[in-house]
Structure 1
Amino acid sequence: MDLHNYFELGQLYARYASALDAADWEAWPDFFTEDCVYRLQPRENHERAFPLATLAFDSKGMLKDRVYGIRETLFHDPYYQRHVVAAPLVRRIDADGRIHAEANYAVFRTRLSKESTVFNVGRTIDEVVPTPQGLKFASRLVVYDSEMIPNSLIYPI
């Protein structure tokens, strides 16, 4: 992978985190292809090849439904997120340009009038494809390290 393409990959990861940190939920599905996969799974299940995931979406339409749920139907105490994402590690590039990459992440959560806490830590295992609109996630598996997550997971990671 040349420097320009690696820069574009890094920008995809950075723009993704920035959109989530800004609570720009409507932008979130646009980081994915139409027939994408987004899964959030505990590390233990991933390592044992168990299929159970905390969240599992199989299309961009399902991601848009989640955005609708965040905006219109889910009631919770508001909080802010801040993502810290490591530089992506490119594992492989297929002949068709599909990039297999991973990145470690940490998400901090700040509730109004409270101190910030570590919310979620893990890694993403991604398949990224070139499109006319730039690089997009075809598949994003978020593997979080802890078996425990606070009460509910509202926002995407």
Structure 2
Amino acid sequence: MSNVISSNADLQLDQNTKDAISRLLVCAAHSIDNNLLENWPQCFMDNATYKVLTRADFDLGRKVGVWFCDSKAMLVDRVNSIRSVNVFEPHVYRHILGTSEVTQYKDKKYSAQTNYVVIRTMYDGDMAIFSAGRYVDEIMIENGTALFQSRTVVTDSVRYDTMVALPL
């Protein structure tokens, strides 16, 4: 079995790169799903961006959507706000991630897309699919550790049934 995978005709990744990207995606989801929100910003570079956009807004090239943070410091501030300021009905998310496709390597950044589904469970046990869509990521790898340079969450739906209190 080969250690080289091909995401498209021109791009081949060694297994260490693929594993680093996979660990990053899983770490980000597990930080949210397991209420370890303080760990979530550690998945990002200091000057990273994080956005949540609807598919329609993304397709139109809009830059700002439901969430917009343009640094790791803003992500940390957002987590602090979730913990101490925001008031919302208790709930948890559970991510189901698809296989990532790395589509490009340019300027020391890997471009990747990953499908996701987030199931929201309310305190009373009621469960629903809260969001489905794809992550559009720019990822840097330094010393074997992958970090997001940017993460754009592209939701398939243009509607939200409640405020997006937790990161997707």
Give the secondary-structure state (helix, strand or coil) at the position aligned to 2:32: helix
1:130 Cα offset (Å): 1.3
Deviations 1:74-116 (A, max 9, x none): 011100110001111000112x431110100000000012321
State the match for 1:61 in structure 2: 73
**What is the alpha-carbon root mean square deviation over aligned residues?**
1.2
Q: Among all aligned residue pairs of Structure 1 and Structure 2, give the percentage whose two residues are the same amino acid.
A: 28
Instruction: Report whether the alignment pairs 1:30 with 2:39.
Output: no
Give the secondary-structure state (helix, strand or coil) at the position aligned to 2:62: coil
Letter in 1 for 2:154: V
From 83, 88, 110, give the equivalent of 1:76.
88
Q: Is the 8 A contact 2:16 2:144 kept in 1?
A: no
Q: How does 1:39-118 map to 2 (within 5 A)?
A: 39-94=51-106, 96-118=107-129
State the match for 1:127 in structure 2: 138
CA distance in 2, matches of 1:145, 1:133: 32
1:19 Cα offset (Å): 1.0
State the match for 2:26 in structure 1: 14
TM-score by length of 2: 0.89
Letter in 1 for 2:139: V
TM-score by length of 1: 0.95
CA distance in 1, matches of 2:82, 2:142: 28
Deviations 1:17-42 (A, max 9, x none): 11110011110110000000100001
CA distance in 2, matches of 1:59, 1:112: 31
Gaps of 5+ in 1: none
